[in-house]
């Protein structure tokens, strides 16, 4: 299999060490879940995990939930509810939505609030190594201490600060030595939850959370790390810097995999814009198979716009595939040969997870079955159809 590696900008052969693959996917900050942009990201990795396991690889699949963060504290205040209560409610909704969309279970679903000791340990290592500094109870990563900072996003240093500022950076923090330095530990603020640390009470920064959780379950080098494309910078860039400088191990990640953004009504689908299409609302009207077919009929690296009026077409496609899988073929003649279509499916999967190509192969198999002469047998073709459909997380009515 070949996958596009964000860091190198190349489609590279995926190699496994000792037949094992560790996958870490950045999850949600739990409020306003689960929109179709979330589903596009998480179901793409769901298919990747399914396929790699079908290939005989031992996959450990980890996803996190950022249950303490500036955004969740702000949203909880807006809703006049506890931050912990909000996080628990939205996390439960996300997991229920993923189950309803027939996603496989995670091997580890990790909460940031349950890994603070690991975060403190990493921060202590960074201070000891000269890559972080404490100031008035807060701790920051010194970007100047890392000459390789930027090796994932390849954004020129002069262009980093405006982008970071749009995505949570606080350049005017008087405790910083450099406006681009990012926070590892945030000193206690009135009304906010806190944990004890060597620098006094406070809470972890966003980036250090994922470094602690990923290494806790997958070790200092992770095979595949991914998430939405908007996480490349600064989140994943900061993860690389702090993890490699804390552990002394390179690379932190062998393959970086990022999923393109989904637009709606002409803009990126996002919580801040409020233009969300929620999975649970779509599930009231359409089957999980139809939703997955619509999502997977877009390549994961290509941004696209969700169109309400396209969903019925994918429900019709789901019906066609289900009809083919259930077609009562009683022919006693030769069994239909769909070897060529199966090869097309596999080739598409191997080619940077070309799910639109894989769906096209499924459609061909269904068409062959439904157009088969009465005397031909279709049972083998139906088994192939169901088997390949399962790789895409489709149930075909089962």
Q: Please provide the DSSP assignment of 252-303 as one string.
A: SEEEEEEEPPEEETTEE--TTTT---BHHHHTTTS-HHHHHHHHHTS-TTS-
Run of H or E including 241: helix 237-247
Sorted by where each begins, the domain ranges of the chain are 2-264, 310-391
> Quick one: tokens of 274?
């409020």
Tell me the pTM. 0.96
Instruction: Give the pLDDT confidence score for residue 336 in this predicted structure.
Output: 87
Instruction: Give the pLDDT confidence score for residue 373 in this predicted structure.
Output: 76
**pLDDT above 80 for 14:** yes
Tell me if residue 309 falls in helix, strand or coil. helix
**pLDDT above 90 for 352:** yes
pLDDT digits (tens, 9 = 90+) for 56-81: 999 999 999 999 988 899 999 999 99
pLDDT digits (tens, 9 = 90+) for 194-210: 999 999 999 999 999 99
Can you tell me the distance from the alpha carbon of 342 to that of 321, in angstroms, rounded to the nearest whole number? 15
pLDDT digits (tens, 9 = 90+) for 309-349: 999 999 999 999 999 999 886 666 668 899 999 999 999 99
**pLDDT above 90 for 48:** yes
Neighbours of 301 (CB within 10 A): 16
- List the helix and strand counts (H, then E) for the chain: 13, 14
pLDDT digits (tens, 9 = 90+) for 96-154: 999 999 999 999 999 999 999 999 999 999 999 999 999 999 999 999 999 999 999 99
Fold classified for 310-391: 1.20.120
> Which architecture, in CATH terms, is 2-264?
3-Layer(aba) Sandwich (3.40)
Q: Please tell me which residue, 377 or 116, carries the higher pLDDT value.
A: 116
């Amino acid at each position: 299999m070949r996958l596009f590696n964000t860091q190198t900008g190349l489609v590279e052969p995926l190699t496994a060490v000792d037949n094992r693959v560790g996958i870490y996917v950045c999850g949600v900050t739990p409020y306003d879940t689960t929109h179709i942009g979330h589903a596009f990201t998480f179901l793409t990795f769901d298919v990747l995990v399914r396929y790699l396991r079908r290939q005989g690889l031992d996959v450990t699949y980890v996803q996190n939930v950022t249950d303490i963060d500036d955004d969740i504290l702000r949203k909880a205040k807006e809703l006049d509810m506890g931050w912990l209560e909000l996080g628990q409610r939205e996390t439960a909704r996300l997991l229920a939505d993923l189950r309803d969309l027939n996603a496989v279970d995670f091997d580890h679903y990790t909460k940031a609030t349950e890994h603070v000791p690991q975060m403190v340990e990493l921060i202590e290592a960074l201070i000891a190594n000269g890559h972080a500094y404490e100031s008035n109870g807060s701790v920051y990563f010194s970007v100047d201490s890392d000459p390789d900072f930027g090796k994932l996003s390849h954004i020129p240093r002069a262009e980093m600060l405006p982008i970071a500022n749009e995505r949570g950076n606080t350049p005017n923090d008087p405790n910083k030595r450099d406006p681009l330095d990012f926070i590892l530990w945030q000193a206690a603020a009135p009304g906010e939850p806190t944990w004890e640390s060597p620098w006094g009470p406070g809470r972890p920064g966003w980036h250090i959370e994922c470094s602690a959780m990923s290494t806790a379950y997958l070790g200092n080098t992770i095979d595949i790390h991914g998430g939405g494309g908007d996480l490349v910078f600064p989140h994943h860039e900061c993860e690389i810097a702090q993890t490699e400088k804390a552990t002394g191990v390179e690379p932190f990640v062998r393959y970086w995999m990022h999923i393109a953004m989904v637009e709606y009504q002409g803009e990126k689908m996002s919580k801040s814009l409020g233009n969300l299409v929620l999975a649970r609302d779509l599930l009231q009207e359409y089957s999980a198979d139809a939703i997955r077919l619509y999502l997977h009929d877009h390549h994961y690296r290509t941004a696209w716009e969700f169109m309400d009026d396209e969903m019925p077409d994918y429900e019709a496609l789901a019906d066609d595939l289900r009809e083919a899988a259930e077609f009562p073929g009683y022919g006693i003649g030769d069994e239909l040969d769909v070897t060529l279509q199966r090869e097309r499916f596999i080739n598409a999967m191997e080619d940077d997870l070309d799910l639109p190509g894989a769906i096209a192969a499924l459609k061909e198999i269904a068409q062959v079955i439904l157009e088969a002469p009465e005397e031909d047998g279709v049972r083998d073709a139906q088994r192939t159809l169901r088997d390949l459909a399962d790789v895409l997380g489709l149930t075909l009515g089962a």
